[in-house]
């Protein structure tokens, strides 16, 4: 399959920056009677609004020390031209994350690539990954895996990043009773945030080099706004009723891009799901003893 993916990958990279901007770490708070995970028990009124639930979830999740996570990412590529069926890229993984240090270790499996398995490590801000028993260090500015430490944001700004927020029917996640919240991002607000503007600036500089004036940066951001207007994005959160920590997140992106022959527009789907089965777990991460600098596909 030939994929003209510049537009899709640009939108995907921007979406990941937006996701990080929506989920920057929140401050700490006090503790009360705790669950088996060392989490405080919290209470919400039965008629709590989705805004109140999300604000409290942002605060509660920002207070944890570490977490265990599971991830399932899927990219669905529709057929084009003479192609008869769609293609799928599917990645699954699990790992642990230490919030005070930012260190993380995970194992990842690429389902379509004959169950190809690799590992990645984030240690003292540097990213490493393992391919065929060799460890590589990613160049500065390149990252691996989800930044699960950036799950929450300053509560005074968080809800400004969404157009709509709705409370769905309560559900269970891994045996835990959860609130279910669905949200649609407000990209107009998000793209004006300093961290997103800086990401866009650094991305453009990495591609072209040289300086980037504020005027040119504004033009690029307007271009991204137009791209994102063609992109449908939905977020869903499942929030533990007892501790108000997040137990599951689900993001679905639909991005339009031209086919290989430019004769039609195809809609790509990107589905990113994460579960957080346990908080405050032991995390022991160390730098790989021998790591080569990554220079591209080996």
Rounded distance between C-alpha atoms, residue 127 and residue 12, angstroms: 20
| 105 CB-near residues (< 8 Å, 6+ apart) | 95, 96, 119, 120, 121, 122, 283, 285
Q: Which tokens belong to 227? A: 């791209």
Instruction: Identify the pLDDT of residue 58.
Output: 85
Rounded distance between C-alpha atoms, residue 262 and residue 265, angstroms: 7
Counted residue by residue, the chain has a size of 298
Q: pLDDT (tens digit, 9 = 90+) per residue, 106-152?
A: 998 988 777 788 898 989 888 888 888 889 887 765 555 555 545 55
What are the boundaries of each domain within the chain? 6-27+48-293
Instruction: Identify the pLDDT of residue 26.
Output: 32
- CATH fold, domain 6-27+48-293, is outer membrane lipoprotein receptor (LolB), chain A (2.50.20)
Beta-bridge partner residues of 184: 164
Instruction: Identify the pLDDT of residue 158.
Output: 66
Residue with tokens 């003893």: 289
Q: pLDDT (tens digit, 9 = 90+) per residue, 84-117?
A: 677 788 889 999 999 888 899 999 898 877 778 8
pTM for this structure? 0.75
Can you list the pairs that 164-167 forms with residues at least 24 positions away whose Cβ atoms lie under 8 Å? 165/50, 165/51, 165/54, 166/50, 167/49, 167/50, 167/53
Instruction: Identify the pLDDT of residue 153.
Output: 52
CA distances from 184 to 112, 174, 231 (A): 30, 25, 11
Residue with tokens 């599917």: 90
pLDDT by residue, tens only, the chain of 298 residues: 223 334 444 444 444 444 444 443 333 333 334 457 889 999 999 889 999 999 899 889 888 999 999 999 998 887 766 666 777 888 899 999 998 888 999 998 988 777 788 898 989 888 888 888 889 887 765 555 555 545 555 555 667 778 889 999 999 999 999 999 999 887 777 777 776 777 777 766 666 666 667 777 777 777 777 777 667 788 899 999 999 999 999 998 887 766 655 567 778 888 989 999 999 999 999 988 876 766 654 4
């Amino acid at each position: 399959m030939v994929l003209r993916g510049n537009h899709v990958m640009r939108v995907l990279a921007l979406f990941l920056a937006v996701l990080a901007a929506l989920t920057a770490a929140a401050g700490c708070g006090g503790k009360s009677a705790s669950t088996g995970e060392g989490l405080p028990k919290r209470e919400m009124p039965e008629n709590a609004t989705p805004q109140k639930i999300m604000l409290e979830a942002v605060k509660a999740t920002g207070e944890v020390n570490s977490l265990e996570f599971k991830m399932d990412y899927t990219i669905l590529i529709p057929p084009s031209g003479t192609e008869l069926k769609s293609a799928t890229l599917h990645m699954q993984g699990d790992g642990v994350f230490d919030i005070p240090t930012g260190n993380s270790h995970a194992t990842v499996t690429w389902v379509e690539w004959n169950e190809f398995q690799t590992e990645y490590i984030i240690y003292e801000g540097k990213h490493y990954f393992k391919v065929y028993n060799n460890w590589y260090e990613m160049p500065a500015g390149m990252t691996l895996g989800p930044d699960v430490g950036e799950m929450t944001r300053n509560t005074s700004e968080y809800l400004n990043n969404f157009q709509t927020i709705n409370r769905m029917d309560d559900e269970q996640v891994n045996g835990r009773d959860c609130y279910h919240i669905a949200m649609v991002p407000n990209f107009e607000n998000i793209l004006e945030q300093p961290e997103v503007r800086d990401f866009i600036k650094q991305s453009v500089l990495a591609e072209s080099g040289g300086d980037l004036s504020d005027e040119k940066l504004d033009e690029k951001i307007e271009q991204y706004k137009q791209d994102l207007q063609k992109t449908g994005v939905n977020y869903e959160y499942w929030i533990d009723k007892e501790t108000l920590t997040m137990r599951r997140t689900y993001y679905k992106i639909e991005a339009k891009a031209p086919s290989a022959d430019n004769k039609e527009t195809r809609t790509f789907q990107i589905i990113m799901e994460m579960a957080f089965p346990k908080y405050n777990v032991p995390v022991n991460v160390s730098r790989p003893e021998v790591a080569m600098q990554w220079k591209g596909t080996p």
